Each structure stands twice: as structure tokens, then as C-alpha cells.
Amino acid sequence: MSDYDFDLFVIGAGSGGVRASRVAAGHGAKVAVAEEYRVGGTCVIRGCVPKKLLVYGAHFAEDLKDARRFGWNVPDCGFEWPTLRDNVLAEVDRLEGLYKNTLDSHQVELIPERAAITGPHSVHLASGREVTAKHILIATGAWPVVPEIEGAEHGITSNEMFHLEACPRRLAIVGGGYIANEFAGIFHQFGSQVTLVNRSSTLLRGYDESVRDRLMQISMGKGIQFRFNAQLDKIEKMDDGTLCVHFKDGDPIPCDVVLFAAGRRPHTDGLGLENAGVEVNEKGAIKVDDHSRTSCESIYAVGDVTDRLQLTPVAIREGHAFADTVFGGNPRTVDYDCVPSAVFSDPPLAGVGLTEAQAKNKLGTVKVYTSDFRPMKNVLAGREERALYKMVVDATTDRVVGLHMIGPDAPEILQAAAIAVKAGLTKQQFDDTVALHPSMAEELVLLK
């Protein structure tokens, strides 16, 4: 018999925590997972899954207009936000049920309570129950940052965007990252007047400059407004219930909803990390080694709470590698090189590997190939919107070190192309591949 209640106790039932729990249990471990809110975490409940469904819904705005150019007698259509909202939330409920079934089928005990660490092998539950475990895994994710300004309580975060009572007539979005740009594209298509407010002059820091600039150009052409180098002062609630965003300099912005989308912070507050000597960095992220072990030998952490790469597939890999290492007798680490990422903006963009600037700094001499074109569908639809594909090549070895794209279905195309970049294929090998015509993806093997 073990000296502990569980072999593994997981705090947080998001993507990383659920995967770690399931795999550890498959290796024969006795596992429990505590979740204070809902099973599925940010991605399933209040992040990428419901947001992608909103993206699909938003696409119909332009698709219905374009259909007329393709011969369809489409009448003027009205949009009903409550219908989409409720259908999306119902799908979230369904997915949460599947996640719960996964835990149940692997004999993982689900404890719907908040948990806090009281020692290297002990956890205190909100009900007052004290639980012991040989190993503890922290997978509590990250949480939206809310600025410390007067009237901040009048704003909302991405968590609440999926539950709005009505589609806002005027939406102010604070931030310049992927969440800000995605919601800007979504609600613009739903008919909102969208203003994106950014404290710097740069959107989507970390993505290639060419695709960032193209997104802003297209967004402005669609009617999305931008306010750069804007320092928030306060948010004022007016007598009629609307809001007014004030800045240190510049005119205020009247709106109906203010969305804070200026970053996410590792969710470590109140976890009791100090009780086990678990160290965090200056951002509050848990410090871990290559095997996700913290400064306390019996405690591990995976996912956004470590702030390595805040991506769901990365959290899943980290959780799986942890379980294999600790319980499966198969020590594994996660390879963070060439991880593809996407922004489901309007249009979407995606990238993998080094940007042009990064490649020049790291490699010195690079070759850059681009294709700037108007997709066939846009041509017939009468849309001027252009796609941009960019390939960054090491001039010495001819190896493709980066691919960056903006245009319809860019993430779908890049997922397959990322395999080639990860495998270290050369520009010549791309050139040697016969094009699949007519397609947008064929531009990748025709770059000159």
C-alpha cells in the first residue's frame, strides 16, 4: 500500500492536466484531478474552441455577399447573436462532457473544488479535505490581465465575450495580440464598430513584420479602427449605460463594451506555492526544468502556468511527456523548435520557424521569397484583398528556416508545410515538388 492517497494529484483540468491525468492513469497510477470551474480549461471552455466557432460564424458575413457573384440569389440576411452564442455554448457543454468521460473511463477521480498546495506532498481542498500525493502536477493555465485603472470593473475579458447578452454596436478592444485581432475580426463581421487600442505601435509582436503589416492594411480597409501608442487613463460609465474610454492623451472613445485583451498572466495566485518552496519568475510563472519539474522535487508544472509557450498543443505534449517520464519509465522532453502558430484574424495568418528579422540576426545571410497574390475566389467575388506568402531561406545551406502566410485557410495550409520546415527541407526540395493546381497552397512550391 502507498503512503499517499494518490500517486498523482493534478491541479487544473485543462488540456495539459487532462492529458497528464489520462496517460498517468494508463501507466497504472492512482490519479485525482481538482478543477474549481469546468473541465476542459481555457481552450475548450473559454478560448480557442468557442472562439474558432465564432470565427466560422463571422465568415458567413462575407460568404453570403460573395455568393451573389457566384450566381446565388442570396437575400439580405440579418444576424442573430443569441442564436450563435447559445449554439456555441451548447457545443462547449458537449465537449466538456467528453472530457469528463475521458477522465472517468481512465478511473481518474475528478474533484470539482479549488485546491491549494500545503506541502511537497499535500493539498488542501476548498471543502476542508486534506489530500496527500506522491507527485503533484500544477496545470492551472493563465488568466487575462486586467489593467489597474479607474473604472476597470466596467470592462470584460475574453472569458466573458462568449456570454454577451447582445452584440455590441461599438466595441473597444484593448491590446494588440492574437486575442485582440481575432475578436476584432469576428465582431466587425457581426456588425460592430470596432476600435483596437494598443499601448505600442506594434501589432502581433513575434510574427513576421510583412504579414503583420498586411493584416493591419486589410483590417483598416474593412473599417476596423486603430489607436496606437495609447495609454489608458480610465473607463467611465455614462448615465445611459454606455462606456467612455479615456486616455492620457487624445480623444476619448465612446463604446458599449470594452474588451481587455492585453495579455495573459500565469494563474498562480493563491496556489500555496510558497508552502512547498516552488519558485516562480518575475512574471509569476512557475520555473521548471526540461522535464517540467519545479524547484520542489515532487511537484511538476505544465502548460500556460509555466509561460514557456502558451499554446494548447504544447500543454498537451508537456502533460504527456511528464506522465511518460514519471509513471511510464520513458523519460521524454518537449521540442520547442519550429512550433507553428496561427492567428484566426480576418483573414487568418500563420507562421513557423524564424521570421526574416530573426533569421538575419541568427544566420547573417538569408534569402527571402514571396508571393503576393489575389486568391481566385476573391477575384471573382470582386474583393481586392490579397494573400501574402513568405519563405525565409538560409543562404548558406538552402534550408527553409521560416514560412509565414496571411490569406484564406493559411493555418490549414501551414500545418502541413510546417512538417517540411521542421524536417529541414531545402528550397530546392520545395521547387522539386509538383504544384497542385489550382490551389492557393501551390504558391509554396512556385516561389521565385
- Count of Cβ atoms closer than 10 Å to residue 170 Cβ: 17
**Could you give the C-alpha distances from 324 to 14, 45, 207, 312, in angstroms and in order?**
18, 27, 33, 19
What are the two backbone dihedrals, phi and then psi, of residue 95, each rounded to the nearest 5 degrees? -65, -40
Q: Is residue 224 annotated as involved in ligand binding? A: no
Residues designated as active site = 437
Q: Is residue 178 annotated as involved in ligand binding? A: yes
Q: Which long-range contacts (CB under 8 A, 24 or more apart) does 61-70 make?
A: 61/189, 61/190, 62/189, 62/383, 65/381, 66/377, 66/381, 66/383, 69/380, 69/381, 69/382, 70/380, 70/381
Q: Is residue 351 annotated as involved in ligand binding? A: no
Q: Is residue 40 annotated as involved in ligand binding? A: no
- Count of Cβ atoms closer than 10 Å to residue 441 Cβ: 18
Beta strands across the sheet bearing 257-260: 156-157, 257-260, 170-174, 193-197, 225-227
What is the chain's length?
448
Q: Is residue 304 annotated as involved in ligand binding? A: yes
Q: Is residue 263 annotated as involved in ligand binding? A: yes
Q: Are 305 and 139 in contact (CB under 8 A)?
A: yes
What are the two backbone dihedrals, phi and then psi, of residue 26, each rounded to the nearest 5 degrees? -65, -25
Q: Are 261 and 304 in contact (CB under 8 A)?
A: no
| Cell of residue 257, nine digits | 463594451
Q: Is residue 97 annotated as involved in ligand binding? A: no
Q: Are 205 and 176 in contact (CB under 8 A)?
A: yes
Q: Is residue 229 annotated as involved in ligand binding? A: no
Q: Is residue 175 annotated as involved in ligand binding? A: yes
Q: Is residue 179 annotated as involved in ligand binding? A: yes
Q: Is residue 303 annotated as involved in ligand binding? A: no
User: Rounded to an integer, what distance in angstroms lies between the CA atom of residue 123 and that of residue 198?
Assistant: 41
Instruction: Please report, in range form, the residues annotated as the binding site.
Output: 52, 175-182, 263, 304
Q: Annotated binding residues for NAD(+), as ranges?
A: 175-182, 263
Q: Which residues participate in the annotated binding site for FAD?
A: 52, 304
